[in-house]
């Protein structure tokens, strides 16, 4: 099982939708552009948003176990995927790449 690098590539914030539909919440997304997380196999990295992790954990698991070309030719790097979290108010896009480094055994 390999580690995966998860990089925050893009962030958006739809203030109009937030004002119209969302109840006020604190710390909805503490990510920052360019931030990098390392997933040690299937384990959620420290500081990763729970909702974002739910959106990407299956992809991280697949890549960490050697899956390639998940998007059937879309990605230049066959050992990577681009996904977005499921927050419709503040979507964050992540590049997930399998690393050669082995994940820690449990």
Task: Tell me the per-residue pLDDT of 25-76, one tens digit each, with 9 for 90 and over.
Answer: 877 778 999 999 999 977 899 999 888 999 999 999 999 999 999 999 999 9
pTM of full prediction above 0.85: yes
DSSP letters, 15-50, are HHHHHHHPPP-S-S----TT-EEEEBTTBPPTT--H
Whole-angstrom distance, CA of residue 40 vs CA of residue 15: 34
pLDDT at position 43, please?
A: 85
Task: Please tell me the total count of domains within the chain.
Answer: 1
Domain that holds residue 44: 2-102
Confidence check: pLDDT of 106 > 60: no
Which residue is associated with the tokens 């992790």? 53
Find the mean pLDDT for residues 2-29.
Answer: 92
C-alpha pair distances (Å), 6 with each of 33, 51, 78, 93: 12, 15, 15, 10
**φ/ψ of residue 60, rounded to 5:** -60, -45
Whole-angstrom distance, CA of residue 37 vs CA of residue 44: 9
């Amino acid at each position: 099982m390999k580690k995966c690098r998860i990089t925050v590539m893009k962030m958006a914030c739809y203030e109009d939708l937030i004002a119209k539909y969302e109840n006020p919440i604190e710390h909805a997304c503490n990510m920052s552009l360019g931030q990098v997380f390392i997933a040690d196999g299937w384990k959620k990295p420290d500081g990763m948003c729970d909702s974002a992790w739910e959106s990407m954990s299956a992809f991280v698991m697949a890549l960490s176990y050697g899956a390639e070309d998940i998007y059937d030719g879309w990605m230049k790097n066959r050992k990577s995927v681009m996904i977005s979290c499921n927050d419709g108010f503040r979507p964050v896009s992540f590049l997930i790449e399998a690393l050669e480094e082995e994940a820690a055994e449990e």
